Structure 1
Amino acid sequence: MSTRRVVTGFDENGKSVFVSDEQLEGLLQANTTLSSVWRSNGRLQIPPKVPVEDGFGFPTPGGAWVLAWTIPPHSTAGEDQAGVTSAGELPSGGAHATDSVDVNVILSGSVVFELEDGAERILEAGDSIVVNGVVHTWRNRGASTARVLSVIFGADRRAG
């Protein structure tokens, strides 16, 4: 999967300009392709740091990460070729929870969002789900690749 990223900013005179227009190559993690669209590990600033920091891994509290990703048909995100999933540092590995508030929009296809107790919701293109640090798994039971756009905000986890 390739994701086009267009970034705006300012020139040396403070005039609004396009800073970049590029295709981002995806990082394949097991069966899930991830493209880091935007990332900050602290308060956002205008004008933004240029070039845009690209990277993977969850943002620290107050930071944000915009991520475009896919799940192939008839699979669980992060599932390897042997059908095994494992939680990792990235959001595609099997059942996982992160210290973040994630706003997810299904761009195409459909996904099944499953909680640790097996409760699930089917999400279609155009649907959104806000994930507040819960244990969850993403599945694609459909016949086409699902594309998801996630805006992930690093958060502090409170006790109880």
Structure 2
Amino acid sequence: MAQKYRRVVTGHDKNGVAKVIMDEEASCILQRPNRPGVTLTNLWQHSETPAPMEIHEDPVTGPLILHPPENGAVFRIVQFDPEDPEVLAKLDGATAFAEMGAGANVVQGARHPFMHRTDSLDYSIILSGEIYMLMDEEDVLLKAGDVVIQQGTNHAWSNRGTEPCMIMFVLNHATK
């Protein structure tokens, strides 16, 4: 069962008084059979830099795609349940990533079917659990509280443990 997230957004009323303008369960969620055990929940995004200080409309109502908007960023949490190696061996990473508009980002012939690269600068923090970050030639065990700054490198996530792992991501549009 995927974790649910309450999203509280602040702003101002017409008189400039600070107030809560949204208080609801985050609803931009992606779960799919081509990547079982992984749930993406988008919490916020913007499509210009600098970001607008205040908007009152929900910016994450459309389909969930992997990449941040051009000149923008996306804030999300991903839940990685423990992997089943037998199920993983039968999955097609390109098909799963294509469902998020990123089929071309999968690294063909890589050592993990979900090895991919994004053209973004990503800030990540492990919120709970443990996970391996697979790079081209090394595996790095990450635990709750660890932070990763991903600079457009090939990588995959592998939960080899027994508990779900939650990771918070901020993906920023970047240029080479």
- Common fold by TM > 0.5: yes
Q: Of residues 27, 35, 43 in structure 1, which corresponds to 2:30?
A: 27
- Partner residue, 1:39: 45
**Please, which runs of 5 or more residues in structure 1 have no aligned partner?**
none
**Partner deviation per Cα, 1:73-109 (whole Å, 9 max, x = no partner):** 1358xx9676414141548971111110011111111
RMSD of Structure 2 on Structure 1 (CA) = 2.3
More helix by share: 2
Secondary structure at 2:93's aligned position in 1?
A: coil
TM-score normalised per structure 1: 0.85
Name the stretch that deviates more: 57-66 or 16-25: 57-66
| CA apart distance, 1:59 | 1.8
Alignment size in residue pairs: 153
| CA apart distance, 1:61 | 4.1
Q: What percent of counterpart residues are identical?
A: 29
**Please, which runs of 5 or more residues in structure 2 have no aligned partner?**
107-112
1:8-157 alignment runs, 5 A limit: 8-25=10-27, 26-29=29-32, 30-31=35-36, 32-43=38-49, 44-47=51-54, 49-54=55-60, 55=62, 56-57=64-65, 58-75=67-84, 83-87=90-94, 88-89=97-98, 90=100, 94-116=114-136, 118-156=137-175
| CA apart distance, 1:51 | 1.5
TM-score normalised per structure 2: 0.78
Moved over 2 A (4+): 79-83, 89-93
Secondary structure at 1:142's aligned position in 2?
A: coil
Secondary structure at 1:97's aligned position in 2?
A: coil
Q: In structure 2, how many angstroms separate the alpha carbons of the residues matched to 1:17 and 1:75?
A: 45
More strand by share: 1
